[in-house]
Amino acid sequence: MVEQWVTDEDLRAAFDRFAAAIPGFAMPVAYGLARLDVHGCHFGYVNTIGAVRPLPAAVLASVCGYVCSTATFELTRNDVERAVTLLTPAEAATHMSHPNLWSWRELLGEGPPGATFQALFVANASDPPVDENDAQFRALI
């Protein structure tokens, strides 16, 4: 049987499990996923300050290694596919939208061969950008 998170309680429990598996995990104030290819940097759904969705943050953190500090993380297509697989049970909660999951799938589907990905996490809004892609991300939040 495939796991499904149908209720808000299911979603909270899933978040709690992912967060607990990352010692020292602290929710970022903003985060997102980008695809890097020959055409540039393409951002998926941007979780802005004050509107961060906790479960996708914890799922993405579990795949890339984010704990509590502002950073960017290079990801492979397989890493992003894993994040999508881990977050897919949330779609059973049909009473809400799932823009992170949907945009991650879109980034995967539209990516040319050789594309790489980057997870971007902002731990504190006053932290300086860590690279050029993070600077572009900050302009969106």
- Count how many Cα atoms sit within 13 Å of the Cα of residue 57 in the half-sphere of its side chain: 24
Nearest to 51 by CA among 80, 27, 70, 33: 27
Q: Identify the pLDDT of residue 89.
A: 98
40: left (phi over 0), alpha (psi -120 to 50) or beta: left
Q: Identify the pLDDT of residue 93.
A: 97
Q: Identify the pLDDT of residue 1.
A: 59
Tell me, yes or no, whether 116 lies in a domain.
yes
Tell me, yes or no, whether 74 lies in a domain.
yes
Tell me, yes or no, whether 18 lies in a domain.
yes
Residues 61-72: pLDDT tens digits? Answer: 999 999 999 999
Tell me, yes or no, whether 71 lies in a domain.
yes
Q: What is the residue range of 20's domain? A: 8-140
Tell me, yes or no, whether 126 lies in a domain.
yes
Tell me, yes or no, whether 1 lies in a domain.
no
Q: Identify the pLDDT of residue 91.
A: 97
Tell me, yes or no, whether 109 lies in a domain.
yes
Q: Identify the pLDDT of residue 2.
A: 73
Residues 19-56: pLDDT tens digits? Answer: 999 999 999 999 999 999 998 999 999 999 989 999 99
CATH of the domain at 66: 3.30.70.2010
Q: Identify the pLDDT of residue 54.
A: 97
Residues 74-114: pLDDT tens digits? Answer: 999 999 999 999 999 999 999 999 999 999 999 999 989 88
Tell me, yes or no, whether 70 lies in a domain.
yes
Q: Identify the pLDDT of residue 113.
A: 86
Q: How many domains are contained in the chain?
A: 1
Rg (CA), the chain: 14
